[in-house]
């Protein structure tokens, strides 16, 4: 019964849920890519003393970090809106059912 309730009430939110999943995926991939860039900075920049390479990769890391933060913020915003809408819909359904059972 609970699974049926979730399926029927989450159906209108398929678009926002897909956006949330994609944004979370992008944020996670960005977070997992940052250590590789850091290792590259150490291996190719610090060891050889190439400050231009360090600055270039550091800028890339900063850009990826900002993109990751933006994806996380937008995903949380969509998740909050979806959760509020889902809660509103479930409460309305419960109140309607209780009103019919206990009504005049």
Q: CA geometry: angle at 65 spanning 63 and 71, to 5°? A: 105
Instruction: Flag whether 78 is in a domain.
Output: yes
Instruction: Flag whether 23 is in a domain.
Output: yes
Give pLDDT, residue 93.
Answer: 84
Give pLDDT, residue 104.
Answer: 56
The domain containing residue 97 runs over which residues? 19-102
**Domain count within the chain:** 1
pLDDT, one tens digit per residue, over 52-65 is 999 999 999 999 99
pLDDT, one tens digit per residue, over 32-44 is 999 999 999 999 9
With tokens 């819909």, the residue in question is 89
Instruction: Flag whether 12 is in a domain.
Output: no
Instruction: Flag whether 91 is in a domain.
Output: yes
Whether 12 contacts 93, CB under 8 Å: no
Instruction: Flag whether 40 is in a domain.
Output: yes
């Amino acid at each position: 019964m609970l699974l049926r309730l979730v399926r029927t009430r989450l159906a209108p939110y398929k678009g926002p849920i897909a956006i949330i999943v994609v944004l979370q995926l992008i944020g996670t991939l960005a977070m997992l890519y940052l250590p590789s860039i850091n290792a590259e900075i150490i291996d190719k920049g610090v060891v050889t003393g190439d400050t231009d390479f360090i600055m270039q990769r550091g800028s890339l890391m900063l850009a990826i970090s900002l993109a990751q933060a933006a994806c996380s913020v937008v995903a949380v915003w969509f998740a909050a809106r979806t959760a509020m809408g889902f809660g509103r819909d479930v409460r309305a359904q419960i109140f309607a059912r209780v009103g019919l059972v206990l009504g005049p």
